[in-house]
Homo-oligomer: A and B are copies of this chain.
Amino acid sequence: MGDVHARARVGIVGAGQLARMAQQAAIPLEIDLHVLAEAGDDSAAKVVPATSVGDYRSLEDLRTFAKTCDVLTFDHELPDPAHLQTLAEEGFCLRPGPAAKRFAQDKAYQRAELGAHGFPVPANATVTTAAEVAAFAADHGWPVVLKAPRGGYDGRGVFFVADEIEAAEAVARGPMVAEAHVELVRELAVLVARRPGGEAQAWPVVETVQVAGILRELVVPAPLDANRMEEARALGLRVAESIGVVGVMAVELFDTGSELLVNELACRPHNSGHWTIEGAATSQFANHLRAVLDWPLGVTTQLAEAVVTVNVLGRADGFDPAVGLPAALAVPGVGVHLYGKAARPGRKLGHVTALGDDPQETRARARKAAGALGEGIADG
């Protein structure tokens, strides 16, 4: 185990859209992808013949699945860190390993460790009572951002509290990481691929447009001057090196105008990297597979002056994006991706990526194609 050869069996825990898009990258490299799905009709299960159905919360199911694979990697951050630790100790090859993965799984640990290593992060503290939140606010002001240490994503598990009464409601759910609310110019993401020996590549820095904590749009490159761009890229690479990740990771940043702060980490391919499928010489999915197999990474050059990705979220009226597919394909120069998921309000059902010469024109085309699929960001 750990010595990974050609025709490797790469197991992905989880069978969402990330695993589904990984299959597109696995096919030409003759990588035998296996997925551990929650159900036989999960997004990736529909396109990966070697699908196992099991519970990622069960150590036994994880172990049974791991035995069918040469290397184990992840579609999400949800497996129990203790289970991953056990599997690593049993000799299974986990990439990223449990120590790196924990940075994306446990926000309290991540904040403490990054801060201790001198990385710029928002002021933070672990809190269990409303009084502790109020004490934190006395130093850093209201509102305070409270984050559940585990399990949150797409805005879930994140609470903006304006006073002690709202704080009491939030901490009733359990201990939280309190963070100072940061005034932003924009949010950024740096995507990094890293091999076990440390060879790493960062893609161009992305501006991420979030609405209610959910990523809606990517603009590549982010509208930064060359110095800030390089600062962000270098910060992403330093974080990847510091936590020892193997595979692709996303380092999400706050740009306050005067400084960059590390916001969130994801130790897997990430929504902020979807633009790389059409827009970069090597996609995040190809480089993730190459990294976890310890194969040479592909170049991360951007292929067009402007790249814009727009997510397609499920509408309240249950509109099925597949119905709009021909209309979306009629928009020139746009890559369309549907995830094979049933339409539910707010659910990520697909995305589109437009390439062009001008950011505004490119964004307009991306929004037009996304609009055909039912996405309403242009109106929102």
How many Å lie between the Cα of A47 and that of B31 in the bound state? Answer: 10
Complex alpha-carbon distance, A30 and B320, angstroms: 12
Which of A209-217, A245-253, A323-331 lies at the binding interface? A323-331
On whether the beta carbons of B46 and A322 are closer than 8 Å, the reply is no
Query: Interface 1/0s, chain A 294-314, versus B by CB < 8 A?
Result: 011011000100000000000
Does A194 lie at the interface of the complex (its beta carbon under 8 Å from any beta carbon of B)? no
Contact residues in B for A320 (Cβ distance below 8 Å): 6
B30 near A296 with CB under 8 A, answer no
Given contacts A6-B325, A296-B326, contact A338 B30 (CB under 8 A): yes
Task: Answer yes or no: A148 CB below 8 A from chain B CBs.
Answer: no
Nearest CB on B from A70, distance (A): 13
Q: Find out whether the CB atom of A27 lies under 8 angstroms from the CB atom of B6.
A: no
CB distance from A22 to the nearest CB of B (A): 10
A7 to B41, CA, bound (A): 14
A368 CB-CB contact with B under 8 Å? no
Interface band, chain A: 35 or more
Contact yes or no, B303 A6, CB < 8 A: no
Is A325 in contact with B30, judged by CB distance below 8 angstroms? Answer: yes
A295-B325, A333-B299 as given contacts; A47 in contact with B27, CB under 8 Å: yes
Shortest Cβ distance from residue A322 to the other chain B in the assembled complex, whole angstroms: 4
Write out the residue numbers on chain B whose beta carbons fall within 8 Å of the beta carbon of A329. 290, 295-296, 298
Q: Indicate if A63 sits at the interface (CB-CB under 8 A).
A: no
Q: Which of A10-50 contact B (CB under 8 A)?
A: 20-21, 23-24, 27-30, 32, 46-49
Q: A17 to chain B: closest CB distance in Å? A: 10
Q: Which residues of B contact A46 (CB under 8 A)?
A: 32, 49
Most buried by B among A28, A290, A335, A339: A28
Shortest CB-to-CB span from A164 to chain B, Å, is 48
- Complex formed: what's the CA distance from A51 to B20 in Å? 18
- Partner of A29 from the list B51, B332, B336 (CB cut-off 8 Å) is B336
The verdict on A29 contacting B326 (CB below 8 Å), with A46-B49, A281-B333, A333-B281 known, is no
What would 5 more interface pairs be, CB under 8 Å, given A46-B49, A303-B303?
A: A28-B335, A30-B325, A32-B46, A49-B51, A281-B333
Listed by A's residue number, 27 A-B pairs whose Cβ atoms lie within 8 Å are A6-B320, A6-B322, A6-B323, A6-B325, A20-B27, A21-B27, A24-B27, A28-B336, A28-B337, A29-B325, A30-B322, A30-B325, A30-B338, A30-B339, A30-B340, A32-B46, A48-B49, A49-B51, A281-B333, A295-B329, A296-B326, A296-B329, A296-B330, A298-B332, A299-B332, A299-B333, A303-B303
Q: Which residues of A contact B (CB under 8 A)?
A: 6-7, 20-21, 23-24, 27-30, 32, 46-49, 51, 281, 290, 295-296, 298-299, 303, 320, 322-323, 325-326, 329-330, 332-333, 335-340, 355
